[in-house]
Chain A
Amino acid sequence: MFGTISSYFSNDLAIDLGTANTLIYSRGKGIVLDEPSVVAIRLEGGPNGKKILLAVGAEAKGMLGRAPANIQAIRPMKDGVIADFTITEQMLKYFIRRVHDSRWFAPSPRIIICVPVGSTQVERRAIKESAERAGAKQVFLIEEPMAAAIGADMPVSEATGSMVVDIGGGTTEVGVISLGGIVYAKSERVGGDKFDQAIIDYIRRNYGMQISEPTAEAIKKKIGSAFPGSTVLEMEVTGRNLAEGLPRKFTISSNEILEALTEPLNAIVGAVKSALEQTPPELGADIAEKGMVLTGGGALLRDLDRLLIEETGLPVIVAEDPLTCVARGCGRALEEMDRLGSIFAYE
C-alpha cells in the first residue's frame, strides 16, 4: 500500500549512466530519456569565476568542439565512471527533473543505477552520492554485465552459463552469469571513445590531419568495421591539415578504419578470451552451445560479431536493440526490485 502511495508521488527510475549516453527508464513507462552525457557550462568572470549550466544532453553535444572560450562542453563521465562529480550531479538532477511528472512535488525517486564491474569502491560511492544529491531517495547499484544480460533477455537465473559482452562508450564489460549472479566478470577500459581516439590518432599519423571527436564518431558509425568485409566503403572527411594549418578534405576507406581500430579491438578480444579462460568448464560448455551476446553501442560496429566468432570460435549474437539493453535490464530489475536482492551490487 505504501509502495503505491510512494509511487504516486515519484516514479522510480533506472538509470544507465553511460560515458556516451544516459538513458532513463521510468517504472511502468519504459525508456523515457535517451540523451548524450554532455553538459555545456558557461564561465563568467574568467577561468576562476562563476560556472553556469548552459545546456545538457543533445543540445550540449552540438556545442562540442564548436564552443567559444567562455563555454565548455564537458563529458562528465570518463571510462564508465565519474570524472567531474559536480557536473554529473547537475546533469542527473536535470535529467531526473525532466522525466518527473508532478510539478507540485520535488522528485525523490528510488533509483537503480548501473556501475561498471571494474569500478572501485570510491567510484561506486561517487556515483551513488551523485544520484542521492540529485534527489534520489534511495540508490541501488547494479553491475553493467548483469543489467545487460537481463536487458538482452538472457536466462540469468537458470543454472546455465550466459556470457554477455557489453561494449559501451567508456568500458567493455565481459560477464559470465549463472544462477542470478556474476560468476566471472572483467572490465576493460576500452569502448566507443577509444575507437574514436584511435581513428583521430590514425588520421593524424597517416594523413597529417587533425579531426574532431564528433567527426571521428561519424566516421566510425558510417564506415567503421571490425572485420575485413567483401565491400570497401569510403567517406569524405574534412580536417585541419597540420602542416598548412588549413581545412582540407580527404577520403578515407573502411579498410583504413579497420587498421586504425586494431588496437582497441584487440583489447576487447583479449578481454573476451581472458573471460573464457577463467570460466568454469561446465559454464564454458553452455557458452559454447549458446554463444555470447553482444550489447551496448559498440556492438553496432560493423562485423564486430564476425571478428569475435573468428577469434573465439564460438557463436556470437548481437542483442536486439543493443543500445538500450543496459537501460532495459535496469528497468526490468526496477520493476521487480521488491522481490530481488541478490542481483544488486554493493559499494
Chain B
Amino acid sequence: MTDTQQVEEKVEEVSVTASVGALLQAAREAKKLSQQNVSDHLRYSVKQVDALERDAFDLLPDAMITRGFIRNYARLLEIDAAPLLDIYRQLSPAQSPNLLAVNPSMQPVQLTKDNRPWLTYILGSILVLFFLLAWFVYIEYLPKQSPVADDAVQQTTAPVAEAPADTQESSEVVLSETTLPEPALPAAERQFAEDAVSNQDAGVAPVSNTQPQSSAPVSAPVQAVPAVAPLAPIKPEPQVKPDPQAAAAALKKVSISVTDKTWVRVSDKAGQILYEATLNAGDTQSLSFQSPFSVVIGNAKAATVNVSGQAVDLAGYTRSNVARISLE
C-alpha cells in the first residue's frame, strides 16, 4: 500500500468529524511529518501550525491568509485542498469583507470634479423642458393666431376652415373685406385686359391658363395690398394716377388651397414681400396682387393653386417640393 493510499484512508476516517485541523493532522501523521517539519517547510510558526490543527482560527491571521495557509499545507501533504476549504468556510463565521477606507464613519470624501455632472444634468434637464414647452406652445397656439393682425386674411381663413370646399365663397369674402370698389369695367375693356394678359403669358409660358382679374379695383390697387400683406406693407403711392386698363391687366387673383400645413410667400418683382403666411390643412387663401409677382409654396405636394379661377399644374414649377411661380 502506498503512502498516498494510506493518507486517503486516514483522511476518510477523520472526515466524519468535518474538522480541517483533524484532517490535516491525520494527513501529516500519515506522512510521518512533525509540526516542526511543516513549520520549516511553510515558514509558518509551530504555534500557527498547531492552532490550525486545533481549529483555533482566531489565533491565525485573516481569513484569506488562513485559506492560503490551508492550501499550502494541503499541497505539502499532497492532498486536495478544496474539501478542506469548504469545511473551513462552514466552520469560520461569515466575515464581512475588508473595508477599503480607513475610517468609514467619516464624512464621504468628495472626489475631484464629481459634483460637476450633477450641475450638467440639472441644467440639461431644464433646457430640455424649456424646449419642450416652447415647442408645445408653438404647436398649440401659434398657428391659430394670425401671424400679424391681418383682418382680411383672418376672416378669409376662418370661414374656409369651417367649409373648406366652398372656395368661391371665400374669395368673395376677400373681395368684400379688401374694401375695394366693385369693378366697373366695361365688357370691352375686360376683354382687352384678357387679351393683354394672355399675350404676356404667351411670352412667359409657365402659367398657361391665367385670366385677368375681372373684378380688379381700378382706383387703389396699391393701397389694397397692405390689407393682405401685413408683414411688409408697401408704401402707399396715392399720387400715382391710375391707369384703368393697365391696372385691370396687372391685378391678378391667386387662390391657394392646401391639404397640409404649407408655407406661402408672395413677393413682387423687386423682391419685396407682399404676403407671407403658414396655411394650415384645409385652408384656402385667396389673394390679389399687382403683377408681376412671384409665389413660393413650401409644400407643393399639398397645395392647389388657381390663378384667376384656372388651376395651375405645379409640377412644372416644383423642385424639391418647393414651387416657385412667376406671374407677369
Contacts and interface: CB of A to CB of B under 8 A. Distances in A.
Given A137-B117, A291-B43, A337-B111, A153 B64 contact: yes
Interface stretch (A29-37, A209-217, A307-315): A307-315
17 contacts: A2-B121, A137-B117, A138-B113, A157-B98, A157-B99, A291-B43, A305-B72, A315-B69, A317-B69, A317-B71, A320-B67, A337-B111, A338-B108, A339-B108, A339-B109, A341-B109, A341-B111
Main secondary structure of the interface of B (DSSP, over half): loop
How many chain A residues sit at the interface, stated as a range, is: 35 or more
B42 A157 contact: no
B62 A155 contact: yes
Interface in A5-48: 5-6
Interface in B37-86: 42-45, 48, 61-65, 67-69, 71-72
A106 B246 CA distance: 66
A289 B61 contact: yes
A154 B64 contact: yes
Interface of B: 42-45, 48, 61-65, 67-69, 71-72, 97-102, 104, 108-111, 113-114, 117-118, 121
A340 interface: yes
A342 B42 contact: no
B45 to A, nearest CB: 8
Contacts of B62: 153-155, 290
Contacts of B110: 341
Contact of A180 (B65, B101, B113): B101
B100 A150 contact: yes
Nearest to B95: A153
A343 interface: yes
A315 B42 contact: yes
B98 A154 contact: yes
A290 B109 CA distance: 31
A290 B68 CA distance: 10
Contacts of B42: 309, 315
A67 interface: no
B64 A152 contact: yes
Contact of B43 (A2, A309, A318, A320): A309
